[in-house]
Amino acid sequence: MDTNINLAVLIDGDNIPSAHVKEMMEEIAKYGNPTIKRIYGDWTKPHLSKWKNLLLENAITPIQQYGYTTGKNATDSAMIIDAMDVLYSGKVNGFCLVSSDSDFTRLAVRLREAGMLVIGIGEKKTPNPFIVACDKFIYVEILKNKADRENVDLDASKNHVDSITPKDIELIKTTISDVSDDDGWAFLGDVGSLLQKKQPNFDSRNFGFDKLTPLIKSIDIFELDQRENPKSRHKLIFVRIKAKQVIVKKKRGRK
**Angle separating helix axes 188-198 and 166-179, nearest 10 degrees:** 120
Q: Is the pLDDT of residue 249 over 60?
A: no
CA-to-CA dists, residue 55 to 23, 58, 211, 253, angstroms: 13, 5, 30, 80
**74: pLDDT confidence band, cut at 50, 70 and 90?**
low
- Domains of the chain, earliest start first: 6-148 (3.40.50.1010), 152-241 (3.30.420.610)
The answer to whether 96 touches 10, Cβ cutoff 8 Å, is yes
CA-to-CA dists, residue 232 to 216, 235, 253, angstroms: 23, 7, 60
- What pLDDT does residue 41 have? 87
- What pLDDT does residue 81 have? 94
The three-state secondary structure class of 88 is: helix
The region of weakest confidence among 57-71, 149-163, 200-214 is 149-163
Higher pLDDT: 17 or 8? It is 8
- What pLDDT does residue 147 have? 38
Question: Quick one: how many helices (H) and strands (E) in the chain?
Answer: 10, 9
- What pLDDT does residue 67 have? 64
The region of weakest confidence among 17-31, 41-55, 136-150, 211-225 is 136-150
- What pLDDT does residue 1 have? 56
Torsion of CA 98, 100, 101, 105, to 10 degrees: 70
Provide, rounded to the nearest whole percent, the portion of the chain with pLDDT above 70. Answer: 84
- Give me the mean pLDDT over the 116-134 stretch: 96
How many CB atoms neighbour CB 49 within 10 A? 10
pTM over 0.85: no
Strands (E), 169-246: 186-187, 222-227, 236-241
Give me the phi and psi of 30, to 5 degrees please.
Answer: -70, -25
- What pLDDT does residue 255 have? 43
At residue 20's C-alpha, the angle toward residues 15 and 22, to 5°, is 115
At 137-192, the pLDDT tens digits run: 999 999 874 436 545 544 444 444 347 899 999 999 999 999 999 999 999 999 99
Q: Is the pLDDT of residue 78 over 50?
A: yes
Q: Left (φ > 0), alpha (ψ -120 to 50) or beta: where does 32 sit?
A: left
According to DSSP, the β-strands at 117-122 and 33-41 are unpaired
Q: Is the pLDDT of residue 126 over 80?
A: yes
Average pLDDT value for the chain: 85
Residue 156: which residues within 8 A CB-CB, separation 6 or more? none
For 196-208, the DSSP string reads HHH-TT--GGGGT
CA-to-CA dists, residue 136 to 120, 149, 156, angstroms: 6, 23, 27
Looking at the chain, how many residues does it have? 255
How many CB atoms neighbour CB 155 within 10 A? 7
